Structure 1
Amino acid sequence: MTTSISIFDTTLRDGTQGEGISLTAVDKLKIAQKLDALGVHYIEGGNPGSNSKDIEFFKRARELNMRAKLTAFGSTRRKNSTCEQDANLKHLIESGAKAATLVGKTWDFHVHTALQTTLEENLNMIYESIAYLKRHGMEAIFDSEHFFDGYKANPEYAIAALTKAKEAGADWIVLCDTNGGTLPTEIHEIVSKVTGLIQAPIGIHTHNDCELAVANTLAAISAGARQVQGTINGYGERCGNANLCSIIPNLQLKMGYSCVSDEQLKSLTSVARYVGEIANVHLPVNQPYVGNAAFAHKGGIHVSAILKDSKTYEHIAPELVGNKQRVLVSELAGQSNILSKAQEMGLDVGSAAQSREVIDRIKEMEHQGYQFEGADASLELILRDAYGDSVDIFTVESFKILCEKSAGGMQTEAIVRIRVGDRQVYTVAEGNGPVNALDNALRKALVQFYPGIADIHLSDYKVRVLDEKDATAAKVRVLIESSDFKETWSTVGVSSNVIEASWEALVDSIRYALLGMTKSEKFPEALPESAGLVNH
């Protein structure tokens, strides 16, 4: 029988302690629904006793009818007080959450230094607080803060704290590597001893200060822990928490445990990217399992092998976690890379000599400063042009930019002249900068033919100086990311003039978008106006 592991997500609480991460109550509600769909068992929403935002979240979350157990976070009662007098515990009960996580001290050093109380009083605080939650019908999860450091310093006291939590009725006892400094061998040894001494469900909560949070979590599971606490994408204080996006597939696909359904596992990549978007944190391309490069192949020998059997260079099928295989084309590319990309687009690749010409062209462009690994849309346009599958939707005849600094601020205006079919279109548009003005003018010229172009927007814009020694005359590479709310694509431009490089990437972005539109919309034979130059 497959052993089930309980997944406890603390993205909305511990994850928000990460530098640069701030979520509104609405953000939290959106993420909570994604986590529920993923199939996690507990969603820790925050501390209802600490701020009005978390109070609002718990109030509104009651209406979501989630399958996951909504969990509130707090700490044991204050020293030399009673549970009935503790406002923090009162907020936990009033939150409406089905479960509560109580953090308590298990390291004698912290009891003396941080709490400044006696070891006996700390044990009373643990017992009475958990018993209080149980009397009010809540599931009680005891997070034993600094447990591993405490166990190494004074194992008798650390175990005594866990014993008090068990005696009070704790449903889960979670061992926390709060400082993130414990090694996997230590984790396995200590968890093994705890599971032999404490007859209660054991969980694990690790931090990534030694880049070992995932490894430590897996070691704890191997030693008998049955609940995993972590965050999506490993967000959290300092170096972060254990990354559930790595832990869940490792447990399920590698170690044979059951965490979520196979169908839910296929949503892992989309959940990781969704949470990253809401948190406004760019997902590392090389993040295992869910990163954009997790199943990307660049070297020609590698690509040649995966075309025969993907298992040659992929440890799992990317579809199992909702990701996909990507073949990169660069100066390291071989013919296999080109053939794979062309076949992916349904192109007739022609002769080997033609493919070699395409490779040589791409390598020469990379030598000039282009980079297509992060600009798949520009690469696709090159391949379609090379293999005769492109459509000449519009031609750029000229553009002009006017910038004026006045008392009212900086004003930018772009004038674009393009040809669509046998007609010229001349448009003028303003923007908050030259690239924005050019973008507005170009889309203004095309929107009458392709209304869908109005849904396209620039979602990211990056400029990199390629040779700093040339100072302001240096060649630059511009990467533009565009989106139409359904798909995201990236294009590249290179020039010693940043406006020209931006324009090149911008035109590629629009051309790529229009490729899809021309498949479903009739190409315009004439403009609404009768003839000649059309002004807008």
Structure 2
Amino acid sequence: MSASISIFDTTLRDGTQGEGVSLSADDKLKIAKKLDDLGVHYIEGGIPGSNSKDIEFFKRVQELGLRAKITAFGSTRRKNTEASQDRNLQCILESGAQAATLVGKSWDFHVHTALQTTLEENLAMIYDSILYLKQNGLEVIFDAEHFFDGYKNNPEYALSVITKAAEAGADWITMCDTNGGTLPHEVYDIVSTVVSNLPQANLSIHTHNDCELAVANSLSAIQAGARQIQGTINGYGERCGNANLCSIIPTLQLKMGYDCIQADSLKQLSNTARFISEIANVHMPVNQPYVGGAAFAHKGGIHVSAILRDSRTYEHISPELIGNKQRILVSELAGQSNILSKAKEMGLEFDPSNENSSKVIDKIKDLEHQGYQFEAADASLELLLREANGQISELFTFESFKMLVEKSAGQPVVSEAFVKVNIDGQSVYTAAEGNGPVNALDNALRKALVQSFPSLQEMHLSDYKVRVLDEKDATAAKVRVLIESKNVSNTWNTVGVSGNVIEASWEALVDSIRYALLGQINQNDKHSNIESQHGLVNH
């Protein structure tokens, strides 16, 4: 039977110390529920003695009935005081948490420099604090801060610290690589020594990513005998971040044979990572292992041809195991296999022997040469493929647009757009203002169409990106515009390229609208003779 590994999540505490991460009490409660659904064993909620937000979290989280143990964080008692008189320890007891994480110094340098006390008093602070919380019914996890640096500087004292914590009754003893500078072989050797010195102790590992080794160091500790890992979702944390549980959990479970969470729960991992990224309002790297959007994305034609025969040729696990999915990217590197796979994914019939297949491949390569990027704009790609397959019947055609941008002294810039489109042979002319030229164009275009297509009221632009393609050309350079749009049930991305940022934005806007209307396009045979919009916007 494989060994079980306890997963201790500190996204809500250590993760919030990362730059740009700020969570309200409501945010923390939503994330705690999501972490509990995933199946982590401990959720460290924050520091109840530090701020009203964390106090509110600990009060309200009890109403959720979570399976995970809610843990409060704090430090050992102050020097030369009684544990029962320490305000920080009292706040932990009053929080209602089931467990406490106590951090104490294990590096003699820190004892002398940061605490400015004796080595003996530091040991007493650790012992008294753990014993006091244990006597009051809490489970205690002791975080030996800077343990690996302390061990390398003074192994005898570092070992005496965690031995004292064990004597006081700590349920878990955590070895912390607080500065993130330890190497995997050092972690393995030091943890192995600790295991031999404290064979009955439950050992935990807490690593930081300053050398991009937090995951590797955590796995090394497990191999040496640790049985709990502390980390955060998406690796959030101070400086370079903490150990990323999104990489650690599947590696332990799928590759190293340990039990961490239920297999069905593992399928929620990608969704959990993205959910927390959204709540934290922190961009999730597309190339993040396991859960990133590009983790199982394939672009080269040879690769795609191989994975269509057997995905094991270029995928180390099945993406479905962790709730991700295989993606086929279409670009200038694409071969016929890419197009066929993408068409199949979209539910299109695409005959490889048909002349249109080779034409659309050539067209995509030519457009990518011009600066288009379809791997980041699936909606524009789908419109191209549907056109090549004769499945697009346009509901409107573009006639013209004009822009007015006015700036008066002491007044904000005013942008106004005038758009003319043709719907069922009738010209529709509208004008609208916006907080910028693109917003004004978007408002005017949708204003022209919404009477005929009321479903457009449900969609909106959710992201807008501009990239200069030829920087050497300065203000005359081509730009690529990527637009993300959303409605109540879907998100899609479109692309436009031009030497004029307004025209590039217009192309992406029009594709966004066309994609939103795809359902009506396919159901509306009476419009089958209206010419293709792509020709009109001069792709």
Cα distance between partner residues in 2 of 1:289 and 1:186: 26
Deviates more, 1:418-427 or 1:207-216: 418-427
Structure 2 counterpart of 1:164: 164
Q: Deviations over 1:454-492 (max 9, x none)?
A: 221212111111111221111111111112243221111
CA distance in 1, matches of 2:455, 2:433: 21
How does 1:69-80 map onto structure 2 within 5 Å?
69-80=69-80
The within-5 A match list for 1:85-96 is: 85-96=85-96
Aligned residues: 525
Alignment of 1:296-307 (within 5 A): 296-307=297-308
How far 1:439 moved relative to its partner? 1.2
CA RMSD of aligned residues (A): 1.6
Which residues of 2 match residues 312-391 of structure 1 at below 5 A? 312-350=313-351, 351-391=353-393
The one-letter code of the counterpart of 1:44 is E
Counterpart residue number, 1:479: 482
Contact 1:449 1:524 in 2 (8 A): no
Does residue 489 (structure 1) correspond to residue 492 (structure 2)? The answer is yes
Q: Is the 8 A contact 1:347 1:389 kept in 2?
A: no
Q: Distance in 1 between matches of 2:165 and 2:39?
A: 28
- 1:285 Cα deviation from its structure 2 partner: 0.8
Quickly say closer, same or farther: Cα 1:160–1:390, change in 2 above 3 A: same
**Which secondary structure state, in structure 1, belongs to the residue aligned with residue 243 of structure 2?**
coil
Secondary structure of the residue aligned to 2:392 is: coil
TM superposition shift of 1:359: 1.1
CA drift of 1:421 comes to 2.6
Secondary structure of 1:373's aligned partner: helix
Which residue is equivalent to 1:528?
A: none
Query: Quick one: distance in 2 between partners of 1:507 and 1:390?
Result: 14
1:398 lines up with 2:397 in the alignment: no
Structure 1 residue 425 displacement after superposition:
2.4
Report the Cα distance in structure 1 between the residues aligned to 2:308 and 2:381, rounded to whole angstroms.
20
State whether structure 2 residue 416 is matched by structure 1 residue 416.
Answer: no
Cα pair 1:48 1:58 within 8 Å, conserved: yes
Q: Aligned partners of 1:346 and 1:23: how far apart in 2?
A: 40
CA 1:16–1:485 in structure 2 vs 1: closer, same or farther (change >3 Å)? farther
Counterpart for residue 266 of structure 1: 267
Q: Which amino acid aligns with 1:22?
A: S
Q: After TM superposition, give the deviation of residue 391 of structure 1 in Å.
A: 2.7
Deviations 1:68-103, CA, capped at 9 Å, x for gaps: 111111000011111122111111111111111000
d(CA) in 2 for partners of 1:115, 1:409: 54
**Conserved in 2, the CA contact under 8 Å of 1:25 and 1:56?**
yes
Summarize the Cα distance change of 1:441–1:149 in structure 2 as closer, same or farther, 3 Å threshold. Answer: same
Residue of structure 1 equivalent to 2:187: 187
Q: TM-score, normalised by structure 1?
A: 0.95
Change (3 A) 1:83 1:493: same
Q: Give CA deviations for 1:182-203 in whole Å, capped at 9, x if unaligned.
A: 1111111111111221121111
Partner deviation per Cα, 1:278-314 (whole Å, 9 max, x = no partner): 1111111110001110000000000000111111111
Aligned residue number for residue 202 of structure 2: 201
> SS in structure 2 opposite 1:412?
strand
What is the aligned partner in structure 1 of residue 535 from structure 2?
A: none
Instruction: Measure, in 2, the Cα distance between the counterparts of 1:310 and 1:424.
Output: 51
Could you tell me how far apart the structure 1 residues matched to 2:114 and 2:93 are? Answer: 26
Amino acid at match of 2:355: A
Aligned equivalents of 2:396 and 2:90: distance in 1? 66
Q: CA deviation at 1:518?
A: 4.7
Matches of 1:155 and 1:479 in 2, distance apart? 55
Distance 2:524 2:261 in 1: 42
* Cα distance in structure 1, aligned partners of 2:289 and 2:506: 34
Measure, in 1, the Cα distance between the counterparts of 2:134 and 2:429: 73
- Secondary structure, in 3 states, of the residue corresponding to 2:376? coil
In structure 1, the partner of 2:459 is 456
Which is further off, 198-207 or 418-427?
Answer: 418-427
> What is the identity percentage for the equivalent residue pairs of Structure 1 and Structure 2?
73
TM-score, normalised by the number of residues in structure 2: 0.95
| Contact preservation (8 Å) 2:102, 2:140 | yes
Query: C-alpha separation between the residues in 2 aligned to 1:60 and 1:517?
Result: 46
Match of 1:200, SS state, is: coil
3-state DSSP class of the match of 2:517? helix
The answer for unaligned runs of 5 or more in structure 2 is 529-539
Shift of 1:422: 3.1
Instruction: Indicate the residue corresponding to 2:248 in structure 1.
Output: 247
Q: Is the 8 A contact 1:391 1:515 kept in 2?
A: no
Q: Distance in 2 between matches of 1:523 and 1:159?
A: 81
Counterparts of 2:39 and 2:235 in 1: how far apart (Å)?
18
User: Does structure 2 conserve the Cα–Cα contact (< 8 Å) formed by 1:411 and 1:432?
Assistant: yes
Q: Distance in 1 between matches of 2:356 and 2:100?
A: 65
Match of 2:37 in 1: 37
Instruction: State the SS of the aligned residue for 2:332.
Output: coil
